[in-house]
């Protein structure tokens, strides 16, 4: 490895191999499988064309899974974003002990989802802490606990997710707040603008790219919600999500690899469309500046 060119090639080898073996190949393989009736332990398979996709459209389980995924994404992301911004604003100014608050708010984000899900399974159970709090404010908790009720299970998991991730996005908002030049606020002060006006005219518009970035990465993550469903409800009580459906059809019950792969591609396309739209929004905003 003496010429720079061969050095560059050797150095890029680990990533190149990972890219081909563990990203490109699975993506292509999965796409092809989606048009077959391939299953575990059945050696020969048939090409079935679009029939997996047609079946998916009519499968009530898949439709429910997509609906639950959308409820999850649409329900959590606005709340997470707003709460994260609020927390960032609360701890952005210099005051004693703010490091402790920042660390404390962020702590849940570095904890394992399995652990968090187990703790909340306990907190949400019949007679648990959350039920007690609900009774304290005059609400009657579900009879068998929050996770054993179709009306509350998914929303309880969503609330936990918001709780867990706000600290992470708070840190990103803090970086965005730090990047806003102080001179802008000073100029606004001189021009006689109040705090609220400054927030609306400087902070919010300048944070828009950061907020959109947060929404993009959070939606890519949230569309794939799985672990908390697996640990807390096993998809029961109307909580099965798209990845849970893929897992369940492909690797837990029927081992229908072809069918599950087709479902994965439907989810892939949905996520891709969402990301492209969000990026377009991001771009347009930048062009306006």
Partner 1 sequence: MVKPEGKLRSGIRYLALALILLVMVFPLLWMFRVSLMDVGSSIGMGRLLSGSVTFRNYVDLLGAGNLGRALLNSVLVGASVTLGNILFCFMTGYTLARFRHIANRLLFVSVIVVLMIPAHIVIIPFYVLMLKAGLYDTYWALILPFLVNPIGIFLVKQYVESIPPSMEEAARMDGAGELRILLAVVMPLCRPALAVLAIQVFFTNWNSFLFPYILTTSDELRTLPVALALLQGHQAVDWQHLMAGSSIAVIPVLILFIVMQRQIVSGVTAGAIKQ
> For residue 48, what is the DSSP state?
-
Interacting residue with partner 1 among 36, 76, 121, 239 (CB under 8 A): 121
Question: Does residue 119 touch partner 1 according to CB under 8 A?
Answer: yes
Is 143 in contact with 126 (CB distance < 8 Å)?
A: yes
Report helix, strand or coil for 289: coil
Report helix, strand or coil for 145: strand
Terminal Cα-to-Cα distance of the chain (whole angstroms)? 47
Which of 201/227 has CB closer to partner 1? 227
Question: Does residue 284 touch partner 1 according to CB under 8 A?
Answer: no
> For residue 137, what is the DSSP state?
T
User: From the CB of 28, what's the least distance to partner 1, in Å?
Assistant: 8
Question: Does residue 46 touch partner 1 according to CB under 8 A?
Answer: no
Q: Token pair 């999850």 is at which residue?
A: 72
Closest CA to 211 of 115, 112, 106, 88: 88
Which of 119/204 has CB closer to partner 1? 119
User: From the CB of 82, what's the least distance to partner 1, in Å?
Assistant: 14
Of residues 52 through 81, those in contact with partner 1 by CB under 8 A are none
Q: What is the DSSP string of 236-284?
A: TTTT--HHHHHHIIIIISS--HHHHHHHHHHHHHHHHHHHHHHHHHHHH
Interacting residue with partner 1 among 44, 60, 112, 289 (CB under 8 A): 112
Q: Within 13 Å of residue 29, how many CA atoms lie on the same side as its CB?
A: 9
User: From the CB of 96, what's the least distance to partner 1, in Å?
Assistant: 9
User: From the CB of 133, what's the least distance to partner 1, in Å?
Assistant: 10
CA distance 284 to 178: 23
Interacting residue with partner 1 among 65, 84, 159, 264 (CB under 8 A): 264
User: From the CB of 270, what's the least distance to partner 1, in Å?
Assistant: 10
Interacting residue with partner 1 among 57, 175, 187, 204 (CB under 8 A): 175
Interacting residue with partner 1 among 132, 273, 277, 280 (CB under 8 A): 132
Is 214 in contact with 84 (CB distance < 8 Å)?
A: yes
> For residue 146, what is the DSSP state?
G
Question: Does residue 281 touch partner 1 according to CB under 8 A?
Answer: no
Interacting residue with partner 1 among 180, 227, 238, 281 (CB under 8 A): 227
Question: Does residue 141 touch partner 1 according to CB under 8 A?
Answer: no
Which of 15/182 has CB closer to partner 1? 15
Closest CA to 72 of 243, 283, 231: 243
Of residues 186 through 215, those in contact with partner 1 by CB under 8 A are 209-210, 213-214
CA distance 164 to 21: 33
Question: Does residue 84 touch partner 1 according to CB under 8 A?
Answer: no
């Amino acid at each position: 490895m003496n010429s720079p060119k061969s050095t560059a090639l050797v150095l890029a080898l680990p990533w190149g191999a990972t890219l081909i073996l563990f990203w490109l190949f699975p993506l292509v393989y999965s796409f092809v499988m989606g048009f077959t009736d391939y299953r575990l332990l059945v050696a020969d398979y048939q090409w079935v064309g679009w029939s997996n996709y047609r079946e998916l459209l009519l499968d009530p389980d898949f439709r429910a899974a997509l609906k639950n995924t959308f409820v999850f994404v649409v329900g959590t992301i606005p709340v997470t974003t707003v709460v994260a911004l609020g927390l960032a604003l609360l701890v952005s100014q210099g005051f004693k002990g703010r490091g402790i608050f920042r660390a404390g708010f962020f702590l849940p984000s570095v904890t394992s989802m399995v652990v968090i899900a187990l703790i909340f399974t306990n907190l949400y159970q019949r007679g648990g802490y959350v039920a007690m709090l609900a009774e304290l404010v005059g609400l009657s908790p579900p009879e068998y606990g929050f996770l054993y009720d179709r009306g509350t299970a998914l929303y309880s998991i969503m609330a936990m997710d918001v709780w867990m991730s706000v600290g992470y996005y708070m840190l990103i908002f803090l970086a965005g707040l730090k990047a806003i030049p102080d001179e802008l606020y000073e100029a606004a002060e001189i021009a006689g603008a109040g705090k609220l006006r400054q927030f609306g005219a400087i902070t919010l518009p300048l944070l828009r790219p950061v907020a959109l970035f947060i929404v993009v990465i959070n939606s890519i993550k949230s569309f794939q919600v799985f672990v908390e469903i697996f640990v807390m409800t096993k998809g029961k009580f109307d909580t099965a999500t798209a990845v849970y459906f893929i897992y369940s059809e492909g690797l837990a019950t029927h081992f229908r690899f072809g069918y599950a792969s087709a479902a994965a591609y439907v989810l892939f396309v949905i996520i891709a469309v969402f990301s492209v739209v969000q990026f377009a929004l991001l771009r347009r905003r930048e062009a306006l500046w």
